[in-house]
Amino acid sequence: MAYDAKSELARVTKYYNGDPLQKRFSAIVTGETNSGKTYLLRTARFPIHIDSFDPGGTKCLGDLIRSEKNPNGQIVVDSTWENEDPFNPKCYEEWKKTTEIRMQTHYFDMFGTYVIDSLTTFAKAVMNAQLKTQGRPASTPQHRHDYNPQKNEIENYIRKLMNLPCDFILTGHLKENEELLSIDASTGIRRTNTEYRLYITGQAVITIPLLFDEIYVLTGSGNPPKREMLIDSLGKYMARSRLKQGGKLLATEPPDIKALLKKAGLSWTDKPLLDKLI
């Protein structure tokens, strides 16, 4: 059969219009300690499933978390992954097995948002698993020998999670990088430049954010602090938004995921309550 350019154009256009990945929301939400990264999740699309690798990190969501005392809660937190023994690490491998089962049983179809909280502790669990397989549990990682495989493992699994039938949010901490620009010879005064970047090792600081549509930074100042969400920023903080390209979003938006989705023209409503599904 001869190649038909018009048919190929129609096929590609039809695929793009029906591709669920083009309508999916994925974001890395970063910020300094106590910036409100986890608290922000209460504004995401419900129901929400959180795989928590950050010990005690989801306590700020207690009133919404599904439990025996709160059976109507629409946030499900799996805190299994918070308890890691670095001398006998099991969390990451168990998390992978559990995630595979959840995918096969269409578990994530019930949820509006899936969250890993946070990249910092998730990456530590990945490294712990690697060191165990090499017979070096709880030892110090050896630069590229250990960090490159860790980066590849995280990237590969994030790519897999991008195919989930729900929004995907990854929280992450920030690392302060101070660069010495000059020292005044007469006064000894140092001139420096301080930047905040994703807290992850090596080239992963560049490659992992590239997998996400959105990179947000939560900031706050004042007493009580007024929190803002940077979605487009260069310099001290690094933020990016592909949704902003349509001109509907500002460089700084209120910290409200559903309001931002609605403003950008994406699906922003919750899925059915868990009680109606189960």
Residues 167-204 have pLDDT tens digits of: 999 999 999 888 777 888 888 888 877 888 899 988 89
Does 151 reside within a domain? yes
- Asked whether 58 and 38 are in contact (CB, 8 A), the reply is yes
Does 8 reside within a domain? no
- Asked whether 128 and 92 are in contact (CB, 8 A), the reply is yes
Does 185 reside within a domain? yes
0.85 cut: is pTM over it?
yes
- The Cα–Cα gap between 37 and 51 comes to 15
So what's the pLDDT on residue 194? Answer: 83
Does 95 reside within a domain? yes
Residue 114 host element (H or E): strand 113-117
- Asked whether 168 and 112 are in contact (CB, 8 A), the reply is no
pLDDT in tens, the chain (278 residues): 567 888 888 889 888 877 766 667 999 999 988 889 999 999 999 999 999 999 999 999 999 999 999 999 999 999 999 999 999 999 999 999 999 999 999 999 999 999 999 999 999 999 999 999 999 999 999 888 899 999 999 999 999 999 999 999 999 999 988 877 788 888 888 887 788 889 998 889 899 999 999 999 999 876 777 899 999 987 889 999 999 987 889 999 999 999 999 999 999 999 999 986 55
So what's the pLDDT on residue 277? Answer: 58
Does 248 reside within a domain? yes
Does 3 reside within a domain? no
CA distances from 13 to 73, 87, 155 (A): 41, 52, 28
Does 265 reside within a domain? yes
CATH number for the domain that contains residue 87? 3.40.50
Number of domains in the chain: 1
Full residue range of the structural domain in which residue 231 is found:
26-277
Does 2 reside within a domain? no
